[in-house]
Structure formats: structure tokens, C-alpha cells
Amino acid sequence: MATPGLQMPSEFSNSNLELLISEEQIQSRIKELGAQIARDYASRNPLLIGVLKGACLFMSDLMRAIDIHLGIEFMAISSYGMSTRTSGEVRILKDLGVPVEGRDILVVEDIVDTGLTLSYLLANLKSRGAASVKLVALLDKAERREREVPIDYLGFQIPDNFVVGYGLDFAERYRNLPFIAVLKNPE
Ligand code: IMP
Ligand code: MG
């Protein structure tokens, strides 16, 4: 029972957050992306591969907006230290549970920043003999790109600010926000 007069602290209205993309904007853009993907992949049984953890909310909303026969998988990847990050070397922490040979793959990612993680992952999936590998990204910070990554389906282009929410974190915090916000002061 809540104590009368004692306000619950709200994570979602934390004063360190500045709204960038509202829940309504996210959901309506996802409906459009889902409809477009359904048209493009009708009768191809695509495999959606979500990149953990950031893409978890995007993945769960996006797949409900794609009204065709499809499958889902998850991968977890992490960059090595800063020195190897620039070389684009990443580590697979959790791999797929199924072979991708001959499959039409749609990688689902939260944000493309430098592009190092995605350029490695897309090449890795192609080398396993996928029939096609395309990318769905919710956010694109194009200004920061170091490696060219073609985004086949994009939610929103954003400026070069550190954002959190809707799966994206700062030190594992804020993934649960239903909207995207700029973190004003990384503490
Ligand atoms: P990239 O290899 O530099 O493109 O890094 C992509 C990954 O870095 C994303 O999947 C995110 O996990 C993380 N990232 C990049 N920018 C942001 C941000 O603004 N907020 C939170 N995470 C970010
Ligand atoms: Mg990520």
C-alpha cells in the first residue's frame, strides 16, 4: 500500500531525460515498417534476428506489426576493448540456435552508431550462406558512422546525442522507458 502524501519516484519522468521520440511516434512508425516488411517478404518466411539486449522492445513490437509467416532468433554480441573496437572486431556472446543457410535474414537492431558492430554481424551472417541479409534499425546516428552500413528499413534519423529508452541503456539503466530520450547529464 502506498503511503498517502508520499510520492513514488518516477523513472519515466526523471529530470535527466529530455523526450526525443514519443511512444506514439515509435508505435506508429513501427506499424509502417511492419506493413512494408510484410509486403516485401510475403511467402519468404524470413528469420528476424534481434540483437540483444538493446533491440528487445523494438523486436517485440515490430514482429507483431509484420503479418506474415516468420521466425525469430536472438544474438548477443559485444565489442572488445577500445583498441580492438576501432578494428570492428566483436565477440559473439550468444549465437543463433538454427542454421541460416538459404534463409532470408532480417537483422533487427536498436541503433546504428559507428557501424562497427553491424558491419561485422552482417558480414558474418552472409558468410554462413544466408540467401539474403537485410537490416532493420530503429535509430540511425549517421554523423558518427565509421563503417558503411546499408539500413534497409529505418525508424528514425537522430542527431549525435546519447539516447536512452525503448531498449537503449546507459550503464544498464533506462531500457524500460516506453519512449526515446536524450540523456542530459550522463552521471
Ligand atoms: P556501433 O557499433 O558503434 O554502431 O554501436 C552500436 C551499439 O552501441 C548499439 O547497438 C548500442 O548498443 C550502442 N549505442 C550506440 N549509441 C548509443 C546511444 O546513443 N545510446 C545507447 N546505446 C548506444
Ligand atoms: Mg545494440
Mean confidence (pLDDT) of the chain: 92
Ligand 2 ion: nearby residues, β-carbon < 5 Å: 54, 110
How many angstroms is it from 118 CA to the middle of ligand 2? Answer: 9
| C-alpha to C-alpha distance for 25 and 132, rounded to whole angstroms | 29
| C-alpha to C-alpha distance for 187 and 5, rounded to whole angstroms | 29
**Residues 159 and 180 sit within 8 Å (Cβ to Cβ):** no
Q: What are the average pLDDT values for consecutive 10-residue runs of the chain, which has 187 residues? A: 74 96 98 98 97 97 98 88 57 93 98 94 96 98 94 97 96 97 89
Instruction: Give, for ligand 1, the residue of 91, 110, 183 to mutate: max count of ligand atoms closer than 8 Å to Cβ.
Output: 110
Q: Which residues have C-beta within 8 Å of that of residue 20, sequence separation ≥ 6?
A: 158, 161, 163, 179, 180, 181, 182
State pLDDT tens for residues 27-64. 999 999 999 999 999 999 999 999 999 999 999 999 99
H/E run at residue 75? strand 71-79
